[in-house]
Each structure stands twice: as structure tokens, then as C-alpha cells.
Structure 1
Amino acid sequence: MTSVKLVFYEGTIRTLKGKRLAGEVMFQFPDKIICHADSFYIGHRIPALSIEDELVQGETYFVLPVDRFACQILSATSLSALAPNSNKRAPIPFGDLPFQYVKGADGRMLIKVSQEFIMSLILKDGESGCNGSTSPLCSTPELRKHYAQLVGSKEQVWSPKLETIAESKARFSPSRVFGFERRSGRS
């Protein structure tokens, strides 16, 4: 008998044997949604299952936090929300060709996000960005230097130097504003 593979956002993987409904998992984890791993398409609804949907044997499903999806349509922004360090505003590592063009049932071209890419986002432990020497974002020492100058270190705390602004009481008369100043000498 085959099993259902559940990949949790926190990085754990479980297998379930036998006939299961999505609602069984949802009741155990009320703050999560369950999505079929092979059903993510850019510009389409996030493939969240309903309570009565049956989990298909031999398939993989993602168990993701509801609060990571601000909108219901899958976009690059909602993909970046899947990265565990998305609150640090780190770039998504798009180096592994995560998208495939497939033809939909109506003949239109769709952009499918590979389940391997989503799994790599969910299960990623390391930091992304230019800190690592193998990062595709900063592939040269010069780019790493520029990145460090722009972003700075995490230990560096920004504190502005505030200077007071001295205000002077300028007295403007209407004749001075309109250019009718008195001149001391005659020309």
C-alpha cells in the first residue's frame, strides 16, 4: 500500500497510510492549509484543499501556514512568503529553474512552479543573499563588497545624528516681499 507524503512548513515530513481526508490534517493543525504539491501555477489561485478532499495515495502535499498568504493568487510575492526567512527580505534563489511552461486544459500556456522548488524554499535552513560565497546573487568579490556597503552588517545599528535647526525670526514687511525696499542712497 502506498502512502501520502506531507511536507510541513517547519521542515518535517510525515507519511500517512490508508485513505485520508484533508480535514483530518486540518483539524490537527487549524492554522495551516493543505495544498497538492504539483498544483502551483503563477497567476492562479493557491491550491488549498477543502475539508472533504481526499488525499491521493502516492502524492505529496504541503502543509503551509495560512498567515503566509496575504492574497489568494499565486505570485512571486506569495512564493517569497514561503521562505522561512521571508521577514528578512532576502531574495529567492531562482537558480534551479523553478518554472515550467505547460499547456492547460483550455490550451492556454500556464507557468507551473515545480514542487522541488517549493520544497527547497520550505526546507531551506541557510540564509540567502550575498553572505555565502556560492550565492548566485553575488558571484564576484566586487558584488559582495557592494552588497555589504548597501545592506551593511546585522550587528551595525543605525542611529541618526540629529542636529537642531536654529530658526530666526525674520521680519518681512509687505514692501520688502514685493520688492519695494527703501534704498539709502539715490541713484
Structure 2
Amino acid sequence: MGACVSSISSSKSGTSGGGGGGSSVLKRSSTAVKVVHVEGRVQELRQSVQAKSIVSQNPGHFLCSSESMSIGTCVPHVPDDEVLQPGQIYFLLPLSHSHKPLSLPDLCSLAIKASAGLRAVDLPTNSKLMLR
């Protein structure tokens, strides 16, 4: 995998404590499923949900797991009946991207959106109010 996803994956999977600065955004809420929308908005789900529930609310899109993305290959869809896993980051992408090999710039763009969206989700409520 490319360096962009590796940094997200390794930070997310390092939930055993310790660690520093920037990775705490990804570590903090490992009990929630996170869905990163193509515009960068992050949806946190704390209840068990199947992929088809998210996809049905977003016609023309599909879900993919951040851990299954690889440069130069088409992004695999999460099966509709699969239960999304807590602590996992999923991307909601347009169907038009489903048969196009993932490029390094595409992957980096998704990683940047995920990082910004996850940071915004992790901000304390007071900080969110000050940002508006």
C-alpha cells in the first residue's frame, strides 16, 4: 500500500495506548465505525450496521474498507450483507470510481480528507462551536 494509507492504518491499529501527537485522532474512538464521505465528512456509527444500510442512504455510491485499498487495483466493494467493524474506517465512494484502478494521488486525496474529517469529529464540542 502507499504511504498515505499506511500512516492511517498504522495509527488506527495502534490502539494499545502510548504514542504521540497526530495519531490520537485515529486512536480515540476505536469502538465506532467511521464512514468517510467523498467530500470529507465523517459519519461515526456506534451501533452494529450492515453495509447496505449506508449504501441505501447514498444512491450511486459504494463502501470500501480502508484496509483493502491498494494502488493500481480497483477498490473492492464491501458486500451489502457485511456488518461494518468497530474501529474500522470505510470510504463511501461514487460508483464511477468502482472500475478505475486507484492511483497514488487518489489515495493521498482520500487520506487527507479522512484525516481532516476525523480530526473534526474528534474535537471537543466547545472547539467545534468556536470554529463556526
TM-score by length of 1: 0.40
Tell me which stretches of 4 or more aligned residues in structure 1 moved more than 3 Å.
121-124
1 or 2, which has the higher strand percentage?
1
Residue matched to 1:33: 62
Residue matched to 2:43: 14
Contact 2:35 2:44 in 1 (8 A): yes
The unaligned stretches of length 5 or more in structure 2 are 1-29, 117-132
* Alpha-carbon distance between aligned partners in 2 of 1:41 and 1:3, rounded to the nearest angstrom: 24
Residue matched to 1:120: 112
1:1-187 matches, cutoff 5 A: 2-67=31-96, 69=97, 72=99, 74-76=101-103, 80=105, 82=106, 118-120=110-112
Shift of 1:15: 0.2
Shift of 1:72: 2.2
Contact 2:63 2:92 in 1 (8 A): yes
What letter matches 1:49 in structure 2?
A: V
Contact 2:33 2:84 in 1 (8 A): yes
What letter matches 1:31 in structure 2?
A: G
* Alpha-carbon distance between aligned partners in 1 of 2:32 and 2:62, rounded to the nearest angstrom: 19
User: RMSD of the alignment, in Å?
Assistant: 2.7
Name the larger-Rg structure: 1
Matched residues, percent identical?
25
Contact 1:10 1:123 in 2 (8 A): no
Residue matched to 2:129: none
Q: Which has the higher contact order (CA 8 A, sep 6+)?
A: 2
What letter matches 1:119 in structure 2?
A: A
* Alpha-carbon distance between aligned partners in 2 of 1:58 and 1:122, rounded to the nearest angstrom: 14
* Alpha-carbon distance between aligned partners in 1 of 2:90 and 2:45, rounded to the nearest angstrom: 11
Contact 2:75 2:102 in 1 (8 A): no
What letter matches 1:72 in structure 2?
A: H
* Alpha-carbon distance between aligned partners in 2 of 1:38 and 1:10, rounded to the nearest angstrom: 20
TM-score by length of 2: 0.55
Shift of 1:17: 1.0
Secondary structure of residue in 2 paired with 1:55: coil
Contact 2:62 2:95 in 1 (8 A): yes
Mark the CA change 1:123 to 1:27 in structure 2 (over 3 Å): closer, same or farther: same
